[in-house]
Structure 1
Amino acid sequence: MGLTAAFTNAVGPILAVSVVGYVLGRGTDVDVGPLNTAGLYVLVPALAFHSIATTSLGGGEVLKLGVGVVGYALAMLGLAWAVGRLTGESGPLLGALMLAAAFPNSGFVGIPLSEFAFGETGRATAVLYLTIQNLLVYTLGVYVASRGTDRGVREAFGEIFRLPLLYAVLAAVVVRAMGWVPPAGNAAMETVRLVGDASIPVMLLILGLQLADTDVTAVTRSVTPSLLKLGAAPLVGVGLALALGFEDPTVARVFVLECATPAAVIPLALTIEYADGATVDGFTAPEYLSTVVFTTTVASVAVLTLVLAGLEAGVVF
């Protein structure tokens, strides 16, 4: 797949739907909250259940994927901390830099992109990546966001058990283990699939709506974390994929593609919750991180096209 094909077949559709959401957000006062709640509590859990219940991925690949997601987050946290200290960042802005580097947008961008590029295996791998990452976000991510504040990690750790995604994954695992997965074409599974498929365009619309509401006043200061996320992250992903030795090359490619996606939106909610009041050089951590999300999302159009073209050409796997 060349650059043109990579953009047309995978990146282009993602961009098009996101732009619709952006234009909608700029031209109307639509409230993204209810839409986000529907996606978080209904659509994404349905997508996760159906993808995991019907996936052809083996247990060994899933285990390697889990190690890879954790390894990527730890590696990028360490790299971001080192770069942040060298560039003089501290306190809540250093925490925001670390969050931006460690947690890619594996849901809103990664799942649709992986499905467009690699089909059912791509979607299942991306859903698993997102699930494992969410566990990290509400543990390790909360710790990073709350450093230097009087808020504890335990308080937000409960978010993991409040979100339906975890239970959808557990239910899918049990159904597979017990051999209870209904046959293809079953009405119940087709209904779950239909609801899950709706999450793809909805996530992209939400992404566009969120970008439309982003304050980009700190754009010049977002260069360092943006370069980390878009430049170093794909290389870290390739290194981990090679070290883990995925048996299925498609899983390896999706893993690298997920690592290369722009900064995630969920850590922004954490910084608003834990570090909204602290100001460094006139910027709050949420302002800083929202600008990074905006910058990396816009710039990722070119980066993801290059990464995807390279992966499809078999440059590494």
Structure 2
Amino acid sequence: MLAQIADITLPIFLIVLVGFFYSRAAQPDLSGVNKLLVDIALPVLIFTSLSTKDFNPHAALEFSVAVVLLVLLSGLLAWPLSGWAGVSARSFVPCAMFGNVGPIGIPLLVLAYGPSGMAPAVVALVLSNLLHFTVGVGVMSGRVDWRMLYANPLLWSTVLGIACSQAHINVPVWLATPLGMIGQVLVPMMLLALGARLSTSRITDMQVGVQSAVLTMGVRTLAAFVVLGGVPLQGVDRGALLLFAALPPAVFNYMLADRFNQQPNQVASMVIVAHVTSLAFLPLGIWLAFL
């Protein structure tokens, strides 16, 4: 089991470290690269994953329900614990609800389960992203801007991918090949970009960071087992949900906190420390997933 955990986690952490140290040495401007990944590579990966004949949206329905319940239940459990984390509920709750599904979740599931892990990873990514732009924004700002949802390319790539799958539309080779190449770029580049972003971030409140990292992991793990008690997932889907719960808070939480002025320095500390402590929490999540 230890060798399996190392085989799954070490590739992720090594690529993040490469991005971290390269950014420290070269200080590159990655704003254009990040936008390219989010606006093009990520929607392309979602489309190519969901448009295949192997993807069955009906079979994914139960897992989708479990993901939504996990996100919402994590928020409900985290709300009364925000005082223990040392921050306001508006700052803490989104960090407990939304893990770093893109840069860490996708490679984690693929390394853990091979190609069969891609479908639940994409489903979790899309649902988490859409909830982040609606519920997450609503928690931090006090209101929901539905225009952010409609303008999200992940929504339309999901709709288009499922439509192609259900209509049995075969993407021609001349189009599928470049789309596949673009999608393959995403995961390593997102890990490198995550390392670069962490290298430029600063911890201003270590106590808040440590307390919130432990609390968010406890809340999400508890929520995952409660959800599994009501939605009896099996096999890859069960493991995927537990790994999804073990992810550190998404970096996007800091961007929202900065935008809506919800203790951005404390949220940055939460995100950074949680990614460091994920060195311990992710192996625990993998162990639980393979029990």
> What is the aligned partner in structure 1 of residue 106 from structure 2?
111
The residue matched to 1:116 in structure 2 has which SS? Answer: helix
> What is the aligned partner in structure 1 of residue 144 from structure 2?
153
- The answer to whether the Cα contact below 8 Å between 1:261 and 1:300 also exists between their aligned partners in 2 is yes
> What is the aligned partner in structure 2 of residue 213 from structure 1?
200
Distance 1:189 1:88, change over 3 A: closer
Q: 1: CA distance between counterparts of 2:112 and 2:67?
A: 20
Pick one of 257, 266, 270 that aligns with 1:288. 266
Report the alpha carbon displacement of residue 17 of structure 1 after superposing the two structures with TM. Answer: 0.4
Which ranges of structure 2 fall in alignment gaps of 5 or more residues?
none
- The answer to whether the Cα contact below 8 Å between 1:55 and 1:124 also exists between their aligned partners in 2 is no
- The answer to whether the Cα contact below 8 Å between 1:80 and 1:225 also exists between their aligned partners in 2 is no
> What is the aligned partner in structure 2 of residue 72 from structure 1?
70
Q: How does 1:50-89 map to 2 (within 5 A)?
A: 50-54=48-52, 56-85=54-83, 87=84, 89=86
Q: 1: CA distance between counterparts of 2:245 and 2:86?
A: 24
TM-score, normalization by structure 1? 0.86
Deviating more after overlay: 166-175 vs 303-312 = 303-312
Q: 2: CA distance between counterparts of 1:268 and 1:260?
A: 19
Report the alpha carbon displacement of residue 137 of structure 1 after superposing the two structures with TM. Answer: 0.7
> What is the aligned partner in structure 1 of residue 285 from structure 2?
307
Pick one of 238, 247, 268 that aligns with 1:261. 247
- The answer to whether the Cα contact below 8 Å between 1:80 and 1:98 also exists between their aligned partners in 2 is yes
Q: 2: CA distance between counterparts of 1:74 and 1:5?
A: 31
| Deviation sequence 1:99-151 (CA, Å, 0-9, x none) | 1101011111100111111112211211110101111111111111113xxxx
TM-score, normalization by structure 2? 0.94
Q: 1: CA distance between counterparts of 2:228 and 2:2?
A: 23
The residue matched to 1:38 in structure 2 has which SS? Answer: helix
> What is the aligned partner in structure 2 of residue 282 from structure 1?
none
Percent identity reads 26
- What is the one-letter code of the residue matched to 1:293? V
> What is the aligned partner in structure 1 of residue 5 from structure 2?
6
- What is the one-letter code of the residue matched to 2:277? A
| Deviation sequence 1:69-101 (CA, Å, 0-9, x none) | 22112211111111124x3856xx321111110
Q: 2: CA distance between counterparts of 1:158 and 1:28?
A: 37
Pick one of 240, 260, 263 that aligns with 2:227. 240
Report the alpha carbon displacement of residue 57 of structure 1 after superposing the two structures with TM. Answer: 4.4
Q: 2: CA distance between counterparts of 1:302 and 1:61?
A: 32
Q: 1: CA distance between counterparts of 2:135 and 2:66?
A: 15
- What is the one-letter code of the residue matched to 1:264? A
> What is the aligned partner in structure 2 of residue 165 from structure 1?
154
Q: 2: CA distance between counterparts of 1:225 and 1:208?
A: 21
- What is the one-letter code of the residue matched to 2:181? L
1:199 lines up with 2:186 in the alignment: yes
Stretches of 4+ aligned residues off by more than 6 angstroms? none
Which ranges of structure 1 fall in alignment gaps of 5 or more residues?
277-284
| Deviation sequence 1:290-311 (CA, Å, 0-9, x none) | 1111111111122111221332
> What is the aligned partner in structure 2 of residue 47 from structure 1?
45
Q: 2: CA distance between counterparts of 1:268 and 1:44?
A: 20
Report the alpha carbon displacement of residue 190 of structure 1 after superposing the two structures with TM. Answer: 2.4
Report the alpha carbon displacement of residue 223 of structure 1 after superposing the two structures with TM. Answer: 2.6
Deviating more after overlay: 135-144 vs 55-64 = 55-64
